[in-house]
Amino acid sequence: MRPLVTGRLDTVVSSRGKNKGCLVAFLERKTRFYLASKIPDRTTKAIFSAIEQLCRLFPKETLITFTSDRGKEFACYPLVERKQ
C-alpha cells in the first residue's frame, strides 16, 4: 500500500565493478518520482553532498523524511537532521 503523504524519500546507492563512481537514487514513495545523482564514491561526504543538492532543489516542507539502509555511507544522518 502506498503512503498517503508525499515527501518521504527512500535512498539507494549502487556501484559496479572496480570503478568507485556510483549513483545515489532518491525515490518519493507516494508518487514514485525518482531523482538520481552521480557521486564520486560511496563515502559519507559524497552522500551528504548529494542530499544537500536535493534539499536545495525543493522547498523544505516537501522533504519530510529520508529512509536509507544501514550502510556506513549513510552515517551522515545526524548532519542531515541538523540541516532540516
Structural domain including 18 reads: 8-83
Query: What per-residue confidence (pLDDT) applies to 11?
Result: 58
- Do the domain assignments include residue 61? yes
Q: Is the pLDDT of residue 66 over 60?
A: yes
- Structure confidence at residue 3 (pLDDT): 47
pTM, two decimal places: 0.70
Domain count, the chain: 1
Domain CATH number, residue 66 = 3.30.420.10
Cα separation, 19 vs 4, in Å, equals 39
Residue 69 lies in a domain: yes
Looking at the domain assignment, is residue 2 inside a domain? no
Does residue 77 lie in a domain region? Answer: yes
Average pLDDT, the chain: 76
Using CA atoms, how far apart are residues 42 and 19, in angstroms rounded to an integer? Answer: 11
Residue 78 lies in a domain: yes
User: Looking at the domain assignment, is residue 1 inside a domain?
Assistant: no
Instruction: Please give the share of the chain, as a percent, with pLDDT higher than 90.
Output: 0
Of 2-6, 61-65, 70-74, 75-79, the range with the lowest mean pLDDT is 2-6
Examine residue 3 and state whether it is found in any structural domain, yes or no.
no
Between 1 and 66, whose confidence is greater? 66
In a domain, 15, yes or no: yes
Q: What is the pLDDT, as a whole number, of residue 84?
A: 59
